[in-house]
Structure 1
């Protein structure tokens, strides 16, 4: 089915411009000017991608980004006039997959959405669950399950990093490779966002922060995921 993109922006002209570009590119769209309207619609439809403006009239967009990433597992792209590095870093740390600064070219938004959707496809053909070291990572539900059946949710952004590790166990993954695979501009904000996502994954995997056994940092080089991984369907 064609991917559904939700657009949340308080400027009607921007909503219309994005909807026109996305529908011409073959996507389905829903548009909202207020967070309350958007959240009500979430009860009926779960979008594949959410474009979220931070400057909303009825709510801070950053808190909404965190909820969408963690609870819904949606791909979240912030579109904002806030160009400061700290705003971009905060957005990425809260779980956003990308950050686009206004003004923008609608064609760029379409391209970034397509890139994110390609990256969200299951890593092993139809397989969507990876088993490793007593854990199961369910990428269809965005949850980690331990041997006792206890589940811990993870965001789409965290899932992208985890999938990258599970696709290449016992191999060095450089920062450059991460940036090329996950997209986004290289630099301090990307590096910091990756550090935060990896730290959160370690916490959810109950790793010792001083001596993690699964996700190892190779200083000056990148990371290695240690362990055998088996991909399964369901």
Structure 2
């Protein structure tokens, strides 16, 4: 998967990706507007080109309050994000070209008022989704907001993701309807932030294309089991 050209789908206004982006942007705008007065810290994991956050900050009345760190591995995406930042004059936004799965990347920003985990949960294993959610108490401050996305293709794991967040002290604030064609969730952290544990790896970014191929192969294997010899060798 080319994660730079993948962003081109956002430019088609009627695509599900464009509709999801607008939904995420609306929730980011609302979260920033509702946040307490004063400085705000924002973390974006696997930020891509940063369209979700940067396009909101470009004209949000609280943009000057925001200190943000976007972490993205693909240098083409971070270059596009830096261009966006330059056009909007968002000098308080930092872009890091690096492995977003390493929790050390967020040490100077966590715990944050807003954490974005968009475009991640559909590209990692379920075990890593649960592990990442378990670490979110190290990234989010009490009263802070997490916005996340996940496709709703079968098996739909959005309800399970909500359960995992609930178990970690996050209250569901908003969830996109089932028929939206995508999943966007907003949770508020009501627990106590935990110390950031350096060296923690949150996930391995597999890619939804690889995950789907693996799932299809497993399904085929279950429907066509290998014949077993019933005799002793």
What's the TM-score, normalizing by structure 2? 0.32
- Tell me the TM-score normalised to structure 1 length: 0.32
